[in-house]
């Protein structure tokens, strides 16, 4: 093979590789430091970063190859103990490091969930409070070949959290709010067992608290109709905490 043809093939491969990825921008609009975590699912590989520190009013980019599925969340009230172990009061992944290394969040946390398609296909994304809430967040698509709507949970659900669902700090302030499934551990709130279909697991008074604050977010397992969003054409995404 001629050198020129070989180089052309390499450049073509690099171009295609770049086309099959999305740039995720994480913005921290909170007045305090957060530690976003990333977790891949569906058999897709872990990303180049599985956790990082994000100072107040700063941003950071992460390249996400497609196809990919997974979730993002923000850890809060984090610290490193004298032995060097890193941990967080809310959203900890148990790795002992800033990187989560393939471990998920300890709920309750607000989640940004994605399934990215290859070659500019249809992406799916949502904000989920199924595992509870800790911070407001939003997802905004940039680019794409269709009208790609934003979604968010802009309200501070902690302000209306039932007392028996609240995770409190040492000063009594509410740091996070458990979902009914997490707090009560009953099938009718978790949509499990005899309640494992949409028909058998309707919204409850507890999930309606979350839905009232954040109408676009998943408030329980079968809250699909108003909470799943799509975008085609190889969009990039901005995830903003405390939008």
What pLDDT digit, counting tens, does each position of 183-241 carry?
A: 999 999 999 999 999 999 999 999 999 999 999 999 999 999 899 999 998 899 999 99
Identify the CA nearest to 36 among candidates 67, 64, 8.
64
pLDDT interval class at 107 (50, 70, 90): very high
Q: pLDDT at position 18, please?
A: 42
| Residue 188 buriedness (CB in 10 A; 0-12 / 13-18 / 19+) | middle
Of all residues in the chain, the percent with pLDDT exceeding 90 is 86
Average pLDDT (13-38) is 81
Q: pLDDT at position 147, please?
A: 78
Question: Is the predicted pLDDT of residue 1 greater than 70, yes or no?
Answer: no
Does domain 24-241 fall under CATH 3.30.70.600? My reply is no
The residue that leads in pLDDT, 10 or 82, is: 82
Angle formed at CA 216 by CA 214 and CA 221, multiple of 5 degrees: 90
What pLDDT digit, counting tens, does each position of 128-164 carry?
A: 999 999 999 999 999 988 779 999 999 999 999 999 9
**Per-domain residue ranges of the chain:** 24-241
Question: Is the predicted pLDDT of residue 12 greater than 80, yes or no?
Answer: no
d(CA 145, CA 166): 42
Identify the CA nearest to 135 among candidates 162, 112, 107, 109.
109
pLDDT interval class at 93 (50, 70, 90): very high
Q: pLDDT at position 10, please?
A: 31
d(CA 146, CA 73): 26
Q: pLDDT at position 50, please?
A: 98
Identify the CA nearest to 136 among candidates 105, 114, 166, 159.
159
pTM: 0.90
């Amino acid at each position: 093979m001629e050198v020129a043809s070989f180089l052309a093939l390499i450049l073509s491969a690099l171009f295609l590789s770049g086309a099959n990825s999305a740039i995720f921008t994480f913005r921290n609009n909170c007045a305090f430091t957060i530690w976003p975590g990333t977790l891949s699912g569906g058999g897709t590989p872990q990303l180049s970063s599985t956790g990082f520190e994000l100072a107040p009013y700063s941003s950071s980019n992460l390249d996400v190859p497609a196809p990919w599925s997974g979730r993002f969340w923000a850890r809060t009230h984090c610290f490193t103990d004298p032995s060097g172990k890193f941990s967080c009061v809310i959203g900890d992944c148990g790795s002992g490091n800033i990187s989560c290394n393939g471990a998920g969040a300890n709920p309750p946390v607000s989640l940004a969930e994605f399934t990215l398609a290859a070659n500019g296909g249809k992406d799916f994304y949502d904000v989920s409070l199924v595992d509870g809430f800790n911070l407001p967040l939003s997802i905004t698509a940039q680019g794409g070949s269709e009208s790609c709507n934003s979604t968010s949970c802009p309200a501070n659900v902690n302000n209306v959290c039932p007392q028996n669902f609240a995770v409190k700090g040492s000063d009594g302030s509410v740091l996070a709010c458990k979902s009914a499934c997490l707090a009560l551990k009953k099938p009718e709130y978790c949509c499990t067992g005899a309640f494992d279909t949409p028909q058998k697991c309707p919204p409850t008074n507890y999930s309606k608290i979350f839905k009232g604050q954040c109408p676009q977010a998943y408030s329980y397992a079968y809250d699909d109709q108003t909470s799943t969003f799509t975008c085609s054409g190889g969009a990039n995404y901005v995830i903003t905490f405390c939008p």
